[in-house]
Amino acid sequence: MELKERILDKVREYIAADESYDDDAQITINPESLEVGLVDGEEADGLPDSIDCYPAMDFVEMTADGSWIPDKEAIASAAEEYAG
């Protein structure tokens, strides 16, 4: 699975259960393994410095009817940072 798809999966997981996470939920990416995670902000504070963290809200956008959807452009942009 491509990194972009793994990020998208975690963003969808966040949207589906956003009330299960604190206001500072983070999408995490391990630059070495490209493993993607989803954690509360407090959990992210305890992660090693080698793990990159992005606010989950950076990867969502609101539709005109007020529902959250993945921001595919932001997800693609983040994934491109690891292309190489």
The tens digit of pLDDT for each residue in 28-53 reads 999 999 999 999 999 999 999 999 99
**What phi and psi values does residue 14 have, to the nearest 5 degrees?**
-65, -50
Q: How many CB atoms lie within 10 A of CB 72?
A: 14
Model confidence pTM above 0.95:
no
The tens digit of pLDDT for each residue in 58-77 reads 999 999 999 999 999 999 99
CB-CB contact of 30 with 50 (8 Å): yes
Distance between CA atoms of 80 and 30, rounded to whole angstroms?
14
The Cα-based distances of 32 to 41, 61, 77 in angstroms read 22, 28, 18
Distance between CA atoms of 53 and 65, rounded to whole angstroms?
29
Q: How many CB atoms lie within 10 A of CB 38?
A: 20
